[in-house]
Structure 1
């Protein structure tokens, strides 16, 4: 059993969970993910590693309770535990493979949309620990959905927040704010790293391609085993088939076939919606 040491709600239906997992904490790097299985009969759910503490032996994840499986995971409380917590999986962020001195001379922008804010936190923290400055854009629906604001503000050069309804920060999408920074404030970025919904990653990649900014996107493709056996997370990158769980989750955003990926993601929506409705009815 992988015990939950701490749990707190950080936004509506979104929970931060610190899990006791010393082997994973010792081995993981920014950009990787874990697969969580709540109990013996549950499905395996891939979740990004938000943070890790090698000394404490803990890994922190953020869970948004949307579907039946994530609702089940989010319902667990501190001192309870998951049946399985596998990882670290996937390739680390490309940042960890770059020359540190070279990184210090680059203008880096990390963009997290929705749950993507939790996913990019480990990368911002890694950069900060190596004395590398980075700007951050966090986009969400409204003020109540802002995640880890104070934590990210403390370790980034500049934190920009956009809300779709204008209830906090910039009114508009993360892509609109990026354009504002580049075109009106004269900001220049050598590299963008983005995490969020696939449709938003597509939009971000289209904007950065206009400006000639190298862009890395972390894809949240559908996964079953997370070890390259099922092929469910395949994605086309520069005309070649890649597996998100083994080759990713990070890829060059300008080379990803987003249209194909969006179509494949949509295949499962009807069934998931049916399962959620049935589950809610049974427990009402």
Structure 2
């Protein structure tokens, strides 16, 4: 079992949890993920690493409360335990001195993009970061991204903080003004990653996305997380989670993400009813 040693509400629906997992922390790298199971009757879900501390033997996870498992996770407190945790899983991000890179984080995707931006900065890159959320109350870790970026641009969809608009707007402007951009890393909702990829394609800039497919075992056995990359079937858990966004079959990914929507909604309704919760 894995003990929770720190917990913080980053936003009304987003939680930060630090847990003890020394064996995983020792091998963790930017871009990798873990699969957790909160209790013995729970499902397994993947969460991309937000941070880790090898000396402390801890992992930091950030999760948005959207389904039964993330609500269960949010209900735990410091001193409680997570039953199962497997990792680190997936291929780590490619970290090298590319020159000038842009890291784009949307919503909860700000968390996993942070260690990637940090690693790219440590490798000698000039890092331009763009982070965005629907509104001010859903933004977090602006200070962390600023600390590892040469330039940080912040957006909100509704204009409640910083620049109004989507992250794709400043992304296009950065690409137009600076022909030195050699790579873009975009992490967030699938629709946001798709449109980041569409934005960069005319500029011919390599664009890496971290896909959030439905996943079960996380080791390539079940095939649940399969995606199509340039017409070839790949598994997010072992071939990814990062892929070239210009070659992802986004429509297939969207379709597969919606397969269990009705069951997920019903599961959460039952869990909330059992625990006396309503709304968020």
What TM-score, normalized to structure 2?
Answer: 0.95
Structure 2 Cα separation of the partners of residues 282 and 116 of structure 1: 30
Matched, 1:94 2:94: yes
- Aligned counterpart for 2:200 among listed residues 202, 208, 223: 208
Structure 1 Cα separation of the partners of residues 173 and 163 of structure 2: 10
Q: 1:72 to 1:278 in 2, by over 3 A?
A: same
- Aligned counterpart for 1:255 among listed residues 222, 247, 251: 247
CA contact (8 A) 1:13 1:64 kept: yes
Matched, 1:21 2:21: yes
Matched, 1:122 2:118: no
1:244 corresponding residue in structure 2:
236
Bigger shift: 118-127 or 108-117?
Answer: 118-127
Question: Residue 278 of structure 1 aligns to a residue in which SS?
Answer: helix
CA contact (8 A) 2:101 2:125 kept: no
Give 1:128 shift. 3.0
1:163 corresponding residue in structure 2:
156
The Cα offsets for residues 35-67 of structure 1, whole Å up to 9 and x where unpaired, read as 111111111110010001111111111011111
4+ runs of 1 displaced by more than 4 Å?
none
CA root-mean-square deviation = 1.2
Gaps of 5+ in 2: none
2:74 corresponding residue in structure 1:
74
Matched, 1:220 2:212: yes
Bigger shift: 125-134 or 110-119?
Answer: 125-134
Structure 2 Cα separation of the partners of residues 18 and 125 of structure 1: 19
CA contact (8 A) 1:170 1:177 kept: no
Structure 1 Cα separation of the partners of residues 150 and 19 of structure 2: 29
